[in-house]
Structure 1
Amino acid sequence: MNKEIKSKIIEVCDAKIAAKGENVGLSFYAFFKNKNDNPKLLMEVAQWWILENKLDHFEKAVKIKEMVKSLN
């Protein structure tokens, strides 16, 4: 994943955690607008989420944030 989407994921996770607490869950769709204006990036994140990490549809924001922070 590129630097911009990693930053966006961390930003969204931080906002969700701040608003709803440490147990808040989210899906990979949370990082994108309702209008699919970048399908290639959406598929890249979906592949990382579903195929590479075998994550459930909803995962804890804290977990996702830490996973993204650990990426090179």
Structure 2
Amino acid sequence: MNPILKQKIIDVCNRKIAQKGENVGLSFYAFFANKNDNPELLMEAAQWWIMTHQLDHFEKAIKIKQMVENMHPV
């Protein structure tokens, strides 16, 4: 996973958990602005979320954070 995307996911998860608690759910769209200014990164996140891990549309932020933190560098 691109290190920029990895850090973005961790940062967003941390922020959402701090705001709404450990039960907060999110989708991979949470990592991007409404205006898609980085389609390559969006597609990488979608590939990881949907195709690689077959996650539901909404998942717990804590689960996503742990998955990303536990990834081995490529």
SS in 1 for 2:12: helix
Question: Runs of 4 or more off by more than 3 Å in structure 1?
Answer: none
Q: Point out where structure 1 has 5 or more consecutive residues left out of the alignment.
A: none
Alignment of 1:21-60 (within 5 A): 21-60=21-60
The structural deviation recorded for 1:40 is 1.2
Give 1:64 deviation, angstroms: 0.1
Q: Sequence identity, in percent?
A: 71
Alignment RMSD, CA only? 0.6
Shift, 1:71, TM fit: 1.1
Task: State the alpha-carbon separation in 2 of the partners of residues 3 and 39 from structure 1.
Answer: 16
Give me the TM-score of the superposition, normalised by structure 1: 0.96
Which whole-Å deviations, capped at 9, do the CAs of 1:15-71 have from their partners, x for residues lacking one?
Answer: 000000010000000001111111111011101000100000000000000000011
1:68 counterpart letter in structure 2: V
Distance across 2 between alignment mates of 1:44 and 1:3: 12
Runs of 5+ consecutive residues of structure 2 not aligned to the other structure: none
